[in-house]
């Protein structure tokens, strides 16, 4: 009976984590056409970094990082890979639906606050190569994160949670930072390669800072999951 209760709790927890993961990933993709500036700056070996200009879609990604690590820790590499493939497919589906909605003319009511064709297309009309680059970067980085997390855990056992969580995120986001910009902006010719080699490292440093700052929350997440699974 105790085993059944534990399995039921694990199943419900997995459903919750997957739902929250997909929601944050899709939301991040939908809001990523707005730029924001993060007022952080510092110097390393004479090179100045910041303030950082990035997409507002970066806001949900810390949650994605934490959820990826929790699923890796408690459900394994295979589960994360399957969820990543499903999420990538759902992101693509979401953009297909958005694309269809863009082709349908808006019924504009004078004096109302409803979206016009121009305002709606400006918000949701992202370039196709940006979408392709975003999905490719997400999938590659997630699969790499799952593999590296599992590899580090096999080498260190249950010790050093910070190493497998933060370490796998740092490497996977290095790939993500370069892939999304290259496919989405360099290949279509909308960004010079020299500018790409300046913007990509800056964005990665920002993601690196976020990943490191999340380390206490990763331990808090592990504590919460262990507490939930043992409270039966």
pLDDT in tens, 35-65: 777 787 777 777 777 777 777 777 888 888 8
Q: What is the pLDDT of residue 83?
A: 95
Contact 102, 121 (CB under 8 A): yes
* CATH number listed for the domain at residues 2-230: 1.10.1760
In a 10 Å sphere around its CB, with 0-12 CB exposed, 13-18 middle and 19+ buried, how is residue 27 labelled? middle
At residue 1, the pLDDT reads: 54
pLDDT at site 232: 55
Taking Cα atoms as reference points, which of 151, 104, 152 lies closest to residue 124? 104
What integer pLDDT is reported at residue 78 of this predicted model?
92
What residue ranges of the chain have pLDDT lower than 50? none
The pLDDT score that the predictor gives to residue 79 is 93
Q: Which long-range contacts (CB under 8 A, 24 or more apart) does 13-22 make?
A: 13/74, 13/225, 13/228, 13/229, 14/71, 14/75, 14/79, 17/67, 17/70, 17/71, 18/71, 18/83, 20/63, 20/67, 21/64, 21/67, 21/68, 21/71, 21/83, 21/87, 22/83, 22/86, 22/87, 22/90
pLDDT at position 28: 86
């Amino acid at each position: 009976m105790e085993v059944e209760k534990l399995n039921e709790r694990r199943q419900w927890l997995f459903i919750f984590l997957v739902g929250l993961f997909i929601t944050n990933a899709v939301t991040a993709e939908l809001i990523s056409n707005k730029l924001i500036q993060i007022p952080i700056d510092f110097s390393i070996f004479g090179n100045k970094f910041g303030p950082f200009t990035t997409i507002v879609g970066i806001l949900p990604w810390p949650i994605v990082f934490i959820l990826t690590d929790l699923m890796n820790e408690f459900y394994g590499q295979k589960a994360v890979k399957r969820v990543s493939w499903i999420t990538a497919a759902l992101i693509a589906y979401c953009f297909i639906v958005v694309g269809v909605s863009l082709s349908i003319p808006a019924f504009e009511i004078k004096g109302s606050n409803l979206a016009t064709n121009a305002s709606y297309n400006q918000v949701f009309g992202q370039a196709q190569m940006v979408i392709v680059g975003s999905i490719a970067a997400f999938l590659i980085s997630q699969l790499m994160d799952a593999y590296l997390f599992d590899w580090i855990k096999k080498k260190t056992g249950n010790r050093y949670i910070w190493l497998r969580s933060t370490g796998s995120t740092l490497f996977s986001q290095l790939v993500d930072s370069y892939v999304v910009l290259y496919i989405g902006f360099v290949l279509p010719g909308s960004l010079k390669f020299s500018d790409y080699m300046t913007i990509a490292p800056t964005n990665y440093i920002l993601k690196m800072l976020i990943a490191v700052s999340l380390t206490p929350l990763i331990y808090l997440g592990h504590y919460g999951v262990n507490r939930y699974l043992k409270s039966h």
